[in-house]
């Protein structure tokens, strides 16, 4: 009953006019960003973090705004997948497989309706999961010592490769690059200036938000010029405003299956929404594709991956909030936000600042309802926005991110750092090195080092402490199992591709 009481308190936080207004605004902006091709949730949330600062929101309200943007992006990502065959973000790739063919058959409204309901089912299942599992995980996590946290960080870095990486060496290298960048600045324990080249500007290290906006948003703009030649996506006309109710529920059982699978994928550290959508689609295909209709506009082929990616993005909030270890790129960005707001995620967050956690969870329930309303009857607004010209959108987006960063510190130096990270991000993407592990390394590096140093000062310098606790051992064992499964899955996939 504790949980229900806490949730009711959360609703009293979320239902204040300011927070409710922010939730609705966040849902709208999120759907918009998700729908625009190329601008994924990571970019959307990263660019809007400085804006949330600029609005001088309280930490709880800022978190509500950005989480609603996050959920909105996941809903919106499907719109350009279905209408243009261009996924708005990575997790929406699977939705193009059946969504676009269905829209081409003149059933665009039905495809959008099915995917909206599937998104709602997935996100609601995940939010329920968050409500009931997160407090237990937080309770268990209180017993984690420094060595156990160190093990947890090792797990996050070791397993992220299973999903993100084409080449596992490069994915690990990405994480290590992030960790190296994280060590720039004054060492908090001893005051030693590390790798600052004598520049005072670098004493505070790289601000995670400046780095993230650079890595994702600026590099995205550079990538845009290369992609522009290849794509000639014509928007499919919307056949009618509202789909029929019966049609919309055609994929309901598939949504439920997809939600459960997606949620599990989301909770695993380092996995996230893309994996959720991918696994949900493939499982659904094995379960129900008896007549070979998948890939030609099967409703279940739309429902399963949409439910999967939304459930995974909700599930990914669990490790981020309870352990401080994000499960996806976007939750990594949200972690950066929390750190900048001086909120330390982790088990103590649930005890010390319950109004923030439960206000957030309650506002996610509200966001789901708002998003369902926005995405079924009002979807026409968003499809029309797809025809906005890029020459208008892109420059405005760039400028908003520049002012946002400038408004935090009023330091042109930060803007140069952002541009430099943009070039770095572009180079890494060209080399097929995933950016998410870089961000994780940058964000978690300081904590990983602190926990290691704390563990060793407890043991007086004996490295054996790292494997003394049963929790740490269990985490290392789980890491080994996940790595093993990744290798097997990779084998099967290459085997299939070859045959």
Partner 1 sequence: MIDRLVGLMILVISVTVFLVARGYEAGFGDPLGPAVFPQMVAALAAILSLGMIFRPDPNPDFRMDRARLKQLATLAVLIGYVLLLEPLGFPVSTTLATALLAALFGARAMRALATGLGTGVGLYLLFNNVLGLPLPLAPAFIG
Confirm or reject binding of residue 473 to partner 1 (CB under 8 A): no
Structure-block tokens of residue 282: 């493939």
Please identify, using beta-carbon distances, which residue of 194 and 492 lies nearer to partner 1.
Answer: 194
Nearer to partner 1, 54 or 378 (CB): 54
**What Cα–Cα distance (Å) separates residue 58 from each residue in 19, 216, 358, 366, 466?**
10, 26, 15, 19, 38
Rounded-to-integer distance, Cα 425 and Cα 421, Å = 6
What are 194's strand-pairing partners? 185
Q: Is 431 in the site for partner 1 (CB under 8 A)?
A: yes
407 in contact with partner 1 (CB under 8 A): yes
Burial of 444 (0-12, 13-18, 19+ CB in 10 A): buried
Candidate residues 169, 242, 348, 378; the one interacting with partner 1 per rule CB under 8 A: 169
Burial of 392 (0-12, 13-18, 19+ CB in 10 A): exposed
Footprint of partner 1 on 210-239 (CB under 8 A): 218, 221-222, 225-226, 228-229
DSSP per-residue string spanning 204-259: T---HHHHHIIIIIIHHHHHHHHHTTT--PPPPPP--SS--HHHHGGGHHHHHHHH
By CB under 8 A, tell whether 467 contacts partner 1.
Answer: no
Spacing of C-alpha 206 from chain mean position: 21
Q: Which of 287, 381, 388, 396 binds partner 1 (CB under 8 A)?
A: 396
Buried b (16+ CB within 10 A) or exposed e, 93-119: bbbbbbbbbbbeeebbbbbbbbbbbbb
Can residue 118 be called a binding residue for partner 1 (CB under 8 A)?
Answer: no
Residues within window 237-276 making contact with partner 1, judged by CB under 8 A: none
Of the two residues 461 and 495, which places its CB atom closer to partner 1 in the complex? 461
Compare residues 6 and 212 and give the one whose CB is closer to partner 1: 212
Residue 389 sits in the site that holds partner 1 (CB under 8 A): yes
Nearest alpha-carbon partner for 233 in 387, 375, 391: 387
Minimum gap (Å) between residue 100 Cβ and partner 1: 25
**Closest distance of CB 365 from partner 1, Å:** 29
Is 111 or 175 the residue whose CB approaches partner 1 more closely?
A: 175
- Residue 391 makes CB contacts below 8 A (sequence gap 6+) with none
Number of residues that bind partner 1 (CB under 8 A): 58
Does 385 participate in binding partner 1 (rule CB under 8 A)?
A: no
Q: Which stretch binds partner 1 (CB under 8 A): 84-92, 112-120, 241-249, 429-437?
A: 429-437
Q: Rule CB under 8 A: which of 19-78 touch partner 1?
A: 54-56
Interacting residues with partner 1 (CB under 8 A): 54-56, 167, 169-170, 172-173, 176-177, 179-180, 183, 187, 189-190, 192, 194-195, 218, 221-222, 225-226, 228-229, 389-392, 394-396, 398-400, 402-403, 406-407, 412, 415-416, 419, 423, 426, 430-432, 445, 448-449, 452-453, 456-457, 460-461
């Amino acid at each position: 009953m504790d949980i229900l009481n806490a949730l009711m308190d959360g609703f009293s936080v979320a239902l204040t006019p300011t927070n409710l207004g922010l939730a609705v605004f966040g849902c709208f902006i999120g759907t918009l960003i998700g729908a625009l091709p190329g601008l994924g949730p990571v970019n959307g949330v990263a660019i809007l973090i400085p804006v949330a600062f600029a609005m001088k929101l309280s930490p709880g309200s800022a978190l509500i705004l950005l989480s609603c943007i996050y959920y909105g992006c996941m809903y919106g990502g499907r719109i350009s997948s279905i209408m243009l065959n261009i996924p708005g973000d990575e997790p929406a790739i699977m939705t193009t497989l059946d969504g676009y063919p269905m829209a081409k058959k003149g059933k665009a409204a039905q495809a959008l309706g099915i995917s909206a309901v599937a998104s709602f089912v997935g996100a609601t299942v995940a939010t329920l999961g968050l409500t009931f599992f997160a407090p237990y995980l937080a309770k268990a996590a209180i017993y984690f010592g420094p060595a156990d946290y160190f093990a947890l960080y090792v797990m996050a870095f070791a397993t992220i490769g299973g999903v993100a990486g084409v080449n596992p060496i490069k994915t690990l290298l990405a994480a290590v690059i992030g960790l190296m960048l994280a060590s720039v600045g004054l060492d908090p324990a001893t005051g030693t200036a590390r790798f600052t080249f004598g520049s005072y500007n670098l004493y505070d290290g790289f601000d995670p938000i400046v780095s993230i906006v650079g890595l994702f948003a600026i590099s995205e703009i550079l990538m845009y010029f290369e992609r522009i030649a290849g794509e000639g996506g014509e928007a499919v006309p919307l056949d009618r405003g509202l789909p029929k109710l019966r049609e919309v529920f055609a994929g309901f059982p598939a949504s439920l299956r997809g939600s459960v699978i997606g949620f599990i994928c989301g909770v695993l550290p380092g996995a996230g929404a893309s994996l959720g959508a991918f696994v949900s689609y493939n499982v659904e295909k094995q379960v129900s594709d008896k007549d070979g209709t998948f890939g030609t506009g099967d409703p279940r082929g739309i429902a399963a991956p949409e439910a999967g990616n939304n459930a995974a993005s909700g599930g990914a909030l669990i490790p981020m909030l309870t352990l401080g270890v994000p499960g996806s790129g976007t939750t990594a960005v949200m972690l950066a936000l929390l750190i900048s707001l001086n909120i330390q995620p982790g088990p103590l967050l649930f005890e010390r600042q319950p109004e923030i956690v439960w206000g957030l969870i309650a506002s996610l329930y509200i966001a789901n309802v708002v998003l369902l309303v926005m995405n079924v009857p009002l979807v026409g607004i968003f499809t029309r926005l797809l025809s906005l010209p890029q020459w208008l959108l892109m420059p405005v987006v760039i400028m908003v991110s520049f002012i946002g960063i400038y408004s935090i510190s009023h330091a042109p130096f930060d803007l140069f750092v952002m541009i430099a990270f943009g070039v770095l991000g572009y180079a890494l993407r060209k080399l097929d090195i995933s950016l998410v592990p870089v961000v994780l390394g940058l964000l978690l590096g300081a904590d990983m080092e602190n926990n290691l140093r704390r563990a060793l000062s407890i043991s007086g310098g004996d490295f054996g402490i790292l494997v003394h606790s049963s929790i740490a051992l269990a985490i290392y064992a789980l890491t080994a199992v996940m790595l093993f499964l990744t290798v097997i899955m990779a084998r099967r996939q290459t085997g299939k591709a070859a045959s």
